[in-house]
Structure 1
């Protein structure tokens, strides 16, 4: 009887569970397997997602919104046809409309149906910290999202081999592991690939997004194929088109020569046919702390709650802590909830944003620890080895 009552209870609480799929095939086949395997989570996510029903679909049903959708889809089809097929596979496997999944990837590029501006319901979270010490090389990240995303995430470990190089960057083989929101392409949370590229994403909210340009989620999907730092910068700059909205990427390459370097790249739309890009590099002895506000690119931002949250989280890091130097420092900072209104780890009942996971990449140990609850008081749910491509003999 207890199990039946639990199943009927809509508020299932924070589950200590993150499912995992290993899949290999073409882009469509991998997408289809993801959709088929996680069909229940994808349907549940779409059903409970207010942004889709109250903002994105109504915008899609206006002439301006449909034009923005068509222009953006046509642009992505021209530059990244393989990722469109991957998303089509997910839609087919889950038996959900493709246009709803693509709307999720457009996000704030879609105009509001009432005021023709970016949607009002947006996530206001994610904090990233990189520590670069002789004995500690750590990247930590809180994955914050709208509350309905809680319990709607999964791991994808994919090996994709195309018959021929395709898309803008002519990638023929991709092998990666990524934490994914239900129904979304891999690449927009925390990820690593077999070239040793590790990265996490902070959403940034610009006031003037650019329909017809590349949505950030397609740029971060392309990053899963990056082989080196130069290649990653080319992907983010996206010459010939450019990003339609903004984010920052925290990253490092495990296989780089010389000293460990961590980078934070702020990416923003521009009027040119390429993204604005500003990269800060942390050399040994330095650290990076980034939330959801531009620190170096001068651009008009929106989403007041995101800005307040970011300012308060940065103040918490600055006022409550000295510069982090170890994994324990990072865990303590990412677990902080001393600011009741704007905590770093968000788990306030009835809050519209939750921290759905915390990840700790240890570049020395070559591990990725994933917590589904506050890491200060909980063990990691899983510790994944970072499996890299073997050099040919």
Structure 2
């Protein structure tokens, strides 16, 4: 990243859904997408070679058919991103489907290299005095400086803001829309035998979540019986004051918990742990910045996984605050209003 480039660049675009939105994103962030794809640890060594095998071709065809049929507009958005960035569509497709492909690779080493859990952590609290979702966005170290914000506005009045990994659909991380729906995402990987070949991809589901009209609609969009692999969705409805966490797995399995006055911590496993009797906003940031457990720190600093940023969504202030570096130090990069569209 050049010294004069922003740490987290943002594209604000008024456009139509589908190919036009994707093309605008791909063209604007062409350099970041090329850089990310060149440095990705698995794209060229594992994903592309697998896609060229007989088994890989069958899986790619099944994923293509299922996701294009269920989400044709978002599939065209991917095509637009590839064309705008001037990269082969197969590379964009594989990057977006990596977690759905990983369970079907030949060896555990290959599966771990492609689909290792991005160990995001989220704290949720919903009381009369403090209602916050605080989230660490963790990922492979290759994604450092390979993310951006997409602020899209559509002709029907919907708009959203989404933290987006270069070359992927908005958003596999966190976002919010003009209907007052806020979400953060955590990995909850399944055992390989639990994955459904040719199911619906996480990235398409979370892209669809950006269209949700309220928390009830959001639940319908994430609780799909035909998904390929599992994921966790932490959802806030700013209009109705609701907050919940959803763990969704393949084969029509999901669990929904409404968040109240008891602080709730979600890590990257199919379990919810480490409840605390009372937390302030500062306590949350301190917890998300904790590095005391060296093998499994909450705030990650490499060598494999890193915390890219921390985002705090405040229901009462109606803001999204993005912190750069360890959140315990409270270095604010940007504070975004949750009320859209922005004037």
The question of whether the paired residues in 1 share the 8 Å contact of 2:215 and 2:242 is answered with: no
Q: Distance in 2 between matches of 1:294 and 1:179?
A: 24
Offset of residue 144 of structure 1 = 0.4
Unaligned stretches of 5+ in structure 2? none
The question of whether the paired residues in 2 share the 8 Å contact of 1:56 and 1:103 is answered with: yes
Q: Does 1:264 align with 2:241?
A: no
Q: Distance in 2 between matches of 1:133 and 1:243?
A: 33
- In structure 2, the partner of 1:359 is 311
Residue 328 of structure 2 aligns to a residue whose secondary structure is coil
Residue 120 of structure 1 aligns to a residue whose secondary structure is helix
Residue 358 of structure 1 aligns to a residue whose secondary structure is strand
- In structure 1, the partner of 2:162 is 178
Q: Distance in 2 between matches of 1:339 and 1:115?
A: 29
Q: Distance in 2 between matches of 1:64 and 1:117?
A: 18
Q: 1:220 aligns with which of 206, 212, 229?
A: 206
Offset of residue 112 of structure 1 = 4.8
Offset of residue 340 of structure 1 = 1.5
Q: Distance in 1 between matches of 2:253 and 2:89?
A: 30
Unaligned stretches of 5+ in structure 1? 1-5, 162-171, 297-313
Offset of residue 135 of structure 1 = 1.2
Equivalent residue pairs, number: 335
Offset of residue 116 of structure 1 = 8.9
Residue 187 of structure 2 aligns to a residue whose secondary structure is strand
The question of whether the paired residues in 2 share the 8 Å contact of 1:56 and 1:119 is answered with: no
TM-score when normalising by structure 2: 0.92
- In structure 2, the partner of 1:280 is 257
Offset of residue 46 of structure 1 = 0.4
Q: Does 1:233 align with 2:219?
A: yes
Residue 155 of structure 1 aligns to a residue whose secondary structure is strand
Q: Distance in 2 between matches of 1:149 and 1:82?
A: 26
- In structure 2, the partner of 1:386 is 338
Q: Distance in 1 between matches of 2:284 and 2:238?
A: 19
Q: Which runs of 4+ in 1 moved over 4 A?
A: none
Offset of residue 123 of structure 1 = 3.5
The question of whether the paired residues in 2 share the 8 Å contact of 1:202 and 1:292 is answered with: yes
Q: Distance in 2 between matches of 1:324 and 1:17?
A: 33
Offset of residue 360 of structure 1 = 0.6
Q: Distance in 2 between matches of 1:154 and 1:135?
A: 32
Q: Distance in 2 between matches of 1:116 and 1:354?
A: 22
CA RMSD of aligned residues (A): 2.2
The question of whether the paired residues in 2 share the 8 Å contact of 1:131 and 1:324 is answered with: no
- In structure 1, the partner of 2:176 is 192
Offset of residue 174 of structure 1 = 3.8
* Greater CA drift, 114-123 or 34-43: 114-123
